[in-house]
Amino acid sequence: MAVDANPNPAASVTALRGFFDGDVWHSFRSSPVAIAAAVIALIFFVCALFADVIAPHNPFDLATLELMDSLKPPAWIDGGEPKYLLGTDGQGRDILSALMYGARISLLVGVASVLLSIVIGVGLGLLAGFVGGRTDAFIMRLCDVMLSFPSILVALMISGVGRSLFPNAPDALAFVVLVLAIALTGWVQYARTVRGSTLVERNKEYVQAARVIGVGPLRIMWRHVLPNVMGPVLVLATIQIASAIITEATLSFLGVGVPVTSPSLGTLIRNGNDTLFSGEWWITAWPSLTLVLITLSVNLLGDWLRDALNPRLR
């Protein structure tokens, strides 16, 4: 008998395949809301990913900007031009292109912080569940304390501290701090879920057998516990991406998020806010709409996913 034989031989593969065959996929196909949400999310994702190629203009290339074209309304309104489909801002940047690049930044930061959240949360959860004792108690305490503080506050504090520590930080560092700030607001849910599953799995016989044989705890956690928690983690992740995007947008709107040179949707909204009163509504409206559509579609997907993966409702 191989020492590290996984009792579920193709557990990871099966888990993934099980996702696409059978109930979940069928449930997806029969839910028009989920399909619509997925399509919308996909469109944004593709636009964001391929912004370089798809965007009609490059809003960051100062050479291509013409001040004469600033503050043009969307193409279907008097004064607009088809060249700038959604209008331009105060410096002649095409809004549509800025949207695509902005969406890319927003999605990048959102996804990155969720991934980091997962790593931190799942790691701590596994640790707490497996080691138990005081480590467990401490980590759970930490979770409680962190949960009692609203995410925006945590993110702001970390952002603020980062700024104070590195006042003239290069952009890359600013991004790192931002991602870290958002990640630290969301890891608790993963930690709790994974800890719960770990506690359950830890007592199962095959885990105990593996320990007796001498399989290291890391391997056990990786091979046995992890596949079993991926379902809830996936649902959490989808919902958290939406809230991470909102948190980043909020921070950027407040001026303490992404650096000014890489504007995200939040930054764009902030910029447009100044001209709202003079009637140039499109500079704020389009980024706001994009932001809402992205988070709405991701939330809908997350909702649907949670129902689809819920064994009780099947």
Which residues are at the interface with other proteins (CB under 8 A)? 145, 148-150, 152-153, 156-157, 159-161, 163-165, 167, 242, 246, 249-250, 253-256, 269, 273, 276-277, 279, 281, 284, 288, 291-292, 295-296, 299-300, 303
| Contact status, residue 161 vs residue 102, Cβ threshold 8 Å | no
Amino acid at 77: I
| Contact status, residue 40 vs residue 298, Cβ threshold 8 Å | no
Residues in contact with 286: Cβ distance below 8 Å, sequence separation at least 6, in sequence order = 86, 87, 95, 96, 99
CB nearer other proteins, residue 65 or residue 291? 291
Distance, in Å, from the CA atom of 49 to the CA atom of 97, rounded to the nearest integer, reads 13
User: What H or E segment, with its residue span, contains residue 100?
Assistant: helix 95-131
Distance, in Å, from the CA atom of 243 to the CA atom of 158, rounded to the nearest integer, reads 17
Distances (CA, A) of 182 to 164, 179, 289: 18, 5, 22
**Distance of closest approach, residue 268 Cβ to other proteins, in angstroms:** 12
CB nearer other proteins, residue 180 or residue 254? 254
Q: Which residue has the tokens 């980590």?
A: 139
**Distance of closest approach, residue 62 Cβ to other proteins, in angstroms:** 25
CB nearer other proteins, residue 246 or residue 305? 246
CB nearer other proteins, residue 62 or residue 145? 145
**Distance of closest approach, residue 235 Cβ to other proteins, in angstroms:** 15
Amino acid at 181: A
CB nearer other proteins, residue 186 or residue 227? 186
Angle at 291 between CA 241 and CA 170, to 5 degrees: 75
| Contact status, residue 65 vs residue 94, Cβ threshold 8 Å | no
**Distance of closest approach, residue 269 Cβ to other proteins, in angstroms:** 7
Distance from the Cα of residue 142 to its chain's centroid: 23
User: What H or E segment, with its residue span, contains residue 233?
Assistant: helix 226-254
**Distance of closest approach, residue 92 Cβ to other proteins, in angstroms:** 23
**Distance of closest approach, residue 71 Cβ to other proteins, in angstroms:** 16
CB nearer other proteins, residue 204 or residue 306? 306
CB nearer other proteins, residue 62 or residue 165? 165
**Distance of closest approach, residue 67 Cβ to other proteins, in angstroms:** 26
